[in-house]
Chains A and B, each alone.
Chain A
Amino acid sequence: MDFSLNELQTMMADSVGRFIDNKYDFDTRQKYAESERGFSDDVWNTFAELGWTAVPFAEDDGGLGGGPVDVMVLMQSLARGLVVEPYVANIILAGGVLRRVANDAQKEKWLQPILGGELHATLAFHEPQARYELADVATTATQKGDDWVISGHKGLVLNGGTSDLLLVPARTSGDTGDEHGITLFAVAADSDGLSCNAYATVDGLRAAEISLANVHVPHDAVLGSVDEGYAALDATIDDATLAVCAEAVGIMYALKDKTVQYSKDRSQFGVPIGSFQALQHRMVDMLMACEQAQSLLMWAAMMNEEGNDESKRAVSAIKYMIGTAGRKLGEEAVQIHGGMGVTWELDVAHYFKRLTTISTLFGNADWHLDKLAA
């Protein structure tokens, strides 16, 4: 039993910490978030240069051979900076699918440039009618000569507007809702018949609605086996769920720390508001929520790292906790900051909004609780 970080993890946490302290203050983050692409290409190149984009990939693929625990450490460290660069879309989602099912030629063509920061990609895992069900894929792909023809609509595609490559689950057999019959395709964003409406999400990040109307892709756009794409899709979404939960726990600690500090600095009635017991006990609850979430996160990451039978249940458990205790903590942070908490100016509101966004991503608390209640 050992809960300490290894050398790589310690180095990574330190270098991310230094980066945020020196290069990524809140104003800078806001500037990037409000820029045209919604993030900084320079910063993204820095991510690639420092090797952060290589963490979860095998050494044969040019990666660092990291697993869920390493990703957890990285995401939790990035959380403090509320980083807007598309790590989840490129590395966890698109990278997660490619490393699982792409053949060597496909990895060469797509995965390597993603690691290098030259190609932006994402995974279009959601459709409007599906709520949180991954297998609810109505988008169809049919074979026509050597090509596949894809039609359908993908919703809330993370960083869809700036992605050069979209990984698209489409139904090649079976009914909507079947796990079997889903095939994964790599689709260039500039394909004929593909239209993309990009927009901002409440956390300051970006997403897009993407329509595919008879989009032709060549046969080598098929990732993995025809009809057998669900397993990679599902495993990748588990990775992504863990990754954003790690980010959420990092945000929870940041909000707790900022709230406690604010309660010491802010005086009313001639005393710091942190001297009021009504607030003290609530901040203790915030601390306990952080520690409980951290514990559950570490459990979930370790179970997934070792491929334990409990892996999926662990992912649902931490996601439930983020969606309940995490949300509550965000609300408390705003409440204890009083009027300042509801301003755009203060970073607290933006941490809160990202935490709230994460509550919904990849299935909300109710959805995950039902998996554990069964």
Chain B
Amino acid sequence: MHVTFSTKVLAFQEEVRAFFRDEYPDDIRKVVDSGGEMPPEMQVRWQQTLYKKGWAAANWPVEYGGTGWSPVEKYIYAREEGFANAPIMMPFGMHMVAPVIYTFGSEEQKQRFLPDILASKVWWCQGYSEPGAGSDLASLKTRADLAGDHYVVNGTKTWTTLGQHADWIFCLVRTNTDVARRQEGISFLLIDMNTPGVSVTPIMLLDGTLEVNEVHFTDVKVPVGNLVGEEGKGWTYGKVLLQHERTNSANTFRSQYRTRQLRAQAATSVRGAPPLENDQNFMRKLAAVEIELKALEYTELRTLAAIASGKAPGPESSFLKIKGTEIVQAIDTLYMEAAGYYCLPYKADPAVGEGSETSSALNYFNNRKVTIFAGSNEIQKNIIAKHVLGL
């Protein structure tokens, strides 16, 4: 039992570290560190920097442009990316639709979609949830009726993150209502957002940001060639994708970056106030979060060791999602508390003066979402109760 890495892995770590040190632009770093909204131009610029380095698709098979990294190398990359607090890769193209396309899609679909996803030339969004189908996703009602060489799609998708910038959307749609189980009769469809009948309505979140939307489909004609895999198998494909979404949501290293930043901030005087490290209550809460986070780091490592030895990732991804998101919210709370009165100004504003602490309450509000999205934490507990505890 030991946690030392091989010389080869350590050399790789050095390479990754150097890349983030040298290639991560200051203007983007400033936006990420402040916790503010990331302009799409910056997001795309960063993703294309990774593409040029050949590091855009850590998880893809090499034949489609993946890195060919081992599980340990992927872990090292994620660690360095987190420690650098580099922007999170937009998951919808790279991590969500691409694996479904290269696993279940046709040769024509692979050639048509994968290169543009890899190069971040096309912006994808996700069409899963509906106004009446949230945690109970299988009750979705958006329907796609076959009419010759195309489907006619009607319905509404919601919580579509950054759909206002999207070129394409991947959707779970109902192609058959006459089924024994609601999970049957669902298909996985790719839809061009510029198709007539598609409209996007923004939903303002509690922090005032416009990051999610409703997407409406009114008699939208979608070529049958945009169906991925078999009709009626969409639920199975979608589940594969959600498991990935959860594994990625432990956020361990980004959270460690933030607790270190909080420690550094606590050691200094902000706006003339006494340093927070004199406040035992605050420091105890910070230490308690650090302990949970260290435990999560090792839980993730144990999962990684299991995967590296050939076991498939299973329900433990639910576990990482629950703990990881609880910790994210605990850290958000500490940032807000650390800011004192200066968590209250609505946004960084010349009238308030410099200081990243002014967005701390907004982050706290915005990140209430993390325990809700990707299958709420309560849904994750249902999954663990059933599949791990056998209840």
Contact = CB atoms under 8 A, between A and B. Distances in A.
B29 interface: no
Contacts of A110: none
Contact of A373 (B287, B295, B385, B389): B287
Contacts of B292: 292
A78 B246 CA distance: 35
Contacts of A2: 1-2, 305
Interface stretch (B58-66, B196-204, B296-304): B296-304
Contacts of B1: 2-6, 9, 69, 298, 301-302, 305
A1 to B, nearest CB: 5
B253 to A, nearest CB: 15
Interface in A201-217: none
Interface string A162-194: 000000000000000000000000000000000
A3 B322 contact: no
A31 B53 CA distance: 68
B165 interface: no
A161 interface: no
A281 interface: yes
A284 B385 CA distance: 6
Interface in A267-301: 274-275, 277, 280-281, 283-285, 287-288, 291-296, 298-299, 301
Contact of A372 (B287, B296, B297, B391): B287
A373 B286 CA distance: 7
Interface stretch (B139-147, B228-236, B376-384): B376-384
Interface in B310-362: 319, 322-323
B283 interface: yes
Contacts of A293: 295
Contacts of A374: 283
B72 interface: yes
A218 to B, nearest CB: 43
A369 interface: yes
Interface residues of B, number: 37
Contacts of A372: 287, 290-291
Give chain B's interface secondary structure class: helix
A280 B295 contact: no
Contact of A296 (B283, B298, B378): B298
A320 B288 contact: yes
A80 to B, nearest CB: 19
A282 to B, nearest CB: 9
A283 B294 contact: no
A259 B290 CA distance: 29
A370 interface: yes
Nearest to A280: B385
B5 A1 contact: yes
Interface of B: 1-5, 72, 280, 283-284, 286-288, 290-292, 294-299, 301-302, 304-305, 319, 322-323, 378, 381-382, 384-385, 388-391
Given A264-B390, A274-B389, A302-B2, 18 more contacts: A1-B304, A1-B305, A277-B382, A283-B389, A284-B384, A284-B385, A287-B384, A287-B388, A288-B319, A292-B295, A295-B295, A295-B298, A296-B298, A299-B297, A305-B2, A317-B291, A320-B288, A370-B284
Instruction: Give the top 7 A-B pairs by smallest Cβ distance, nearest first.
Output: A295-B298, A373-B283, A280-B385, A372-B287, A292-B295, A296-B295, A373-B287
Interface of A: 1-6, 9, 69, 260, 263-264, 274-275, 277, 280-281, 283-285, 287-288, 291-296, 298-299, 301-302, 305-306, 317, 320-321, 324, 369-370, 372-374
12 contacts: A1-B305, A2-B1, A9-B1, A264-B391, A274-B389, A275-B391, A280-B381, A285-B381, A293-B295, A298-B302, A299-B297, A374-B283
